[in-house]
Amino acid sequence: MPHDNGLIYGSFKKICIPESELKTEAEILRPILTSLKIDWERGQLSDSQVTFQIVLLYLERRVKKHPFLRMGKPLPNRNQSQEFLEVVRFYGMPDTVRFALWKWHIGEWDIRLINYNPSSLEMLESQSNGYRYSTISWTDAMEGSLVEGKRDAFEHLLHDLAHAYMFFREDYDFEGQKLFFRKMYLDYSKYEDVLEANPIFRTKFDYCISDMNSHPAHLSAYWNAIRREAGFFVP
């Protein structure tokens, strides 16, 4: 959990701020966030474009010196988002985020921006159909609160983009992942009673279908293991 008892963990800890500072940040960014939200809702900014602007906004706010990195060359025009994403690196985060945002922007990866945190079943359905959600919680961003008590709105969005990278990346067998999630979606009703009765299995099941993107062989091994643990016969 990135925020836990005042400490910050995870891949994005360099660009996270203490929970106690989120409300002050939100007050400063609220006018710009409101404008971006309106433009997005009116269709004046696409999903990838508004996400790009959100990433720039928070990085420039949280990283006072060199939020964007390009060795030995001037930064391209930030309004030319495709060129910017092709050559610039973002400080304090794995390059998976920039790469996913770039692939999304040029239309090669089907990522869909929503303004709420989807249920595990919604995420399973989306992945079974070959696309993945990314969430911008406008409410949490503008109020300076954590999304479901775990991550601030900016980090939550970055976390989703990192997962999208793991879903679509070629060497993790996108088609194989899609087939794996499709089978799980079609079989979901078989496990509903046990999911209601067994909270440990429920937690591990939800993780598998919504927050675990890996090679299908790894996914299958995990799925078989948690079923055996819950008492299912797995040949």
Closest CA to 158 of 4, 46, 11, 6: 11
CA 63 to chain centre: 21
| pLDDT at residue 106, as a whole number | 96
Query: What average pLDDT does range 134-154 have in this prediction?
Result: 96
Mean pLDDT of the region 35-50: 97
192 or 2, which is more confident? 192
Q: What's the pLDDT band for 1 if we cut at 50, 70, 90?
A: low
> Any idea where the domains of the chain sit in the sequence?
3-168, 174-229
Residue 94 is inside which H or E element, if any?
Answer: none
* Three-class secondary structure of residue 40 per DSSP: helix
The residues, ordered by sequence, that sit 6+ positions from 175 with a Cβ below 8 Å of its Cβ are none
Residue 57: which residues within 8 A CB-CB, separation 6 or more? Answer: 29, 32, 33, 36
At 10, the pLDDT band (50, 70, 90 cuts) reads confident
Interacting residues of 16 by C-beta distance below 8 A, sequence separation 6+: 2, 3, 8, 10, 62, 152, 155
> Mean of the pLDDT values across residues 211-226?
95
Q: Which two tokens stand for residue 106?
A: 């040029």
Instruction: Specify the amino acid at residue 171.
Output: D
Q: What is the pLDDT of residue 6?
A: 67
Query: How much is the mean pLDDT over the chain?
Result: 93
Query: What residues have CB less than 8 Å from 87, skipping those under 6 apart?
Result: 70, 73, 76
- pLDDT: which is higher, 128 or 66: 128
Whether residue 111 is predicted with pLDDT greater than 80 in this model: the reply is yes
How much of the chain exceeds pLDDT 70, in percent? Answer: 97
